[in-house]
């Protein structure tokens, strides 16, 4: 493979990112491809480089399968609709971005100069795509067991925590509304305050207001996803406060 491990973004840091991921690659070039944005390849035509878009596609499918299987094993008696809600949240960009940042994925991306100048290392869409690509790279290098072990290390604790809040999980808007009703507080108001990115890959930013106060801000690939994440953050903040 011509994609030698010599890029400045990696520059002696392949061991570091593998330590953060918790997986050692037999073929580090797979990891390097997972970290390569199309803007980097476009600036180096003829160099034989490959971007991470095909890996992202595969990683998305692997994530869906493994998360769905894990949720089923954890809650085998739950209806399909409830399991679907949990799966949809756990594989959403709003959730995966936290795991991408936890392994500092942005530091290791190979970006074109334009993306670098516009803050590509911190863009949610780029980070989530790279995280999915890393999942695929681990799968291709270490099989389903390798990918499963990686996801268990990242998502396992979250799934285990679901057992204490399973009845409301996956529909944070309803759970928040019920919590506010029990506290005799006003209804939540969701306001879309920004839309970024191209039409086919737009990110929506939502603010959640309670009693004219902004209590949460979140983003998502759809307004619904952003609202659910904002509701989750508001619910967590509310439950940490004693009832008035």
> Which residues, other chains included, contact 85 with Cβ-Cβ below 8 Å and sequence gap of 6+?
169, 170, 171
163 catalytic? Reply is: no
- Tokens at residue 236, please? 């967590």
DSSP state at residue 186:
P
Burial class (CB in 10 A: 0-12, 13-18, 19+), 13: middle
Residue 111 Cα distances to 9, 39, 174, 199, 237, angstroms: 8, 6, 40, 22, 36
Active-site entry in 7, 56, 132, 141? 132
Q: Closest by alpha carbon to 232, among 154, 165, 152?
A: 165
Active site residue 132: yes
Q: Which residue out of 7, 60, 141, 225 is catalytically annotated?
A: 60
Asked if residue 238 lies in contact with residue 179, where contact means CB atoms within 8 angstroms, the answer is yes
Residues assigned a catalytic role: 60, 132
């Amino acid at each position: 493979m011509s994609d030698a491990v010599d890029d400045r973004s990696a520059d002696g840091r392949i061991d570091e990112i593998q330590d953060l991921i918790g997986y050692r690659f037999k073929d580090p070039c797979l990891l390097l491809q997972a970290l390569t944005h199309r803007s980097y390849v476009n600036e180096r035509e003829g160099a034989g480089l490959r971007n991470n878009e095909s890996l992202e596609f595969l990683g998305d499918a692997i994530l869906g399968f493994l998360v769905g299987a894990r949720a089923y094993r954890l809650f085998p008696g739950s209806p399909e609709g409830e399991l679907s809600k949990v799966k949809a949240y756990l594989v959403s960009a709003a959730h995966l971005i936290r795991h991408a940042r936890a392994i500092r994925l942005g530091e290791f991306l190979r970006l074109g100069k334009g993306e670098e100048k516009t803050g590509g290392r911190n863009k949610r869409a780029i980070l989530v795509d790279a995280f999915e690509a890393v999942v695929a790279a681990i799968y291709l290098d270490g099989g389903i067991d390798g990918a499963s072990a990686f996801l268990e290390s990242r998502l396992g604790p979250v799934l285990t925590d679901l057992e204490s809040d399973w009845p409301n999980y996956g529909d944070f808007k309803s759970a928040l509304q019920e919590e506010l009703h029990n506290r005799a507080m006003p209804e939540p108001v969701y306001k879309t305050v920004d839309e970024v990115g191209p039409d086919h890959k737009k990110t929506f930013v939502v603010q959640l207001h309670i009693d004219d106060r902004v209590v949460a801000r979140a983003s998502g690939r759809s307004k619904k996803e952003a609202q659910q994440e904002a509701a989750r953050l508001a619910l967590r903040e509310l439950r940490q406060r004693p009832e008035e």
